Amino acid sequence: MATVSTQSSAGTVGNFVDDPTFEADRQNDCELFPAEEICQFAADDEEAGRRIGKILASLFVYTLIAMSIVTWWTFRVVQP
């Protein structure tokens, strides 16, 4: 299996990318998991994406509401 080096030199990265065994190792990794397990992972990944999207949307709406309240309060306090 190909290993990733933590060195940041361009030569190391070039050697890793040009390694002919890299693609073969990647194909062998795919054979480690059955198709059902990969499908289940994809479904779990989609569900997690939807949940994260809902959380972010909720936080955005909360921020808009909080910003509106603070803006209203600021104008009310500042005006004579």
d(CA 61, CA 67): 10
Question: Could you give the number of structural domains in the chain?
Answer: 2
Angstrom distance (rounded) from CA 25 to CA 31: 10
Residue numbers of the domain that contains 18: 1-32
Say if residue 12 is in the same domain as residue 27.
yes
pLDDT band at 73 (very low <50, low <70, confident <90, very high): very high
> Are 28 and 43 members of one domain?
no
Comparison of pLDDT for 40 and 25, the residue scoring more? 40
The vertex-66 CA angle with 65 and 67, nearest 5°, equals 90
Q: Go through the chain and tell me how many residues it has.
A: 80
Identify the pLDDT of residue 1: 47
26, 4 Cβ separation under 8 angstroms: no
Per-residue confidence (pLDDT) for residue 76, from 0 to 100: 94
Helices (H), 1-80: 10-17, 21-30, 35-78
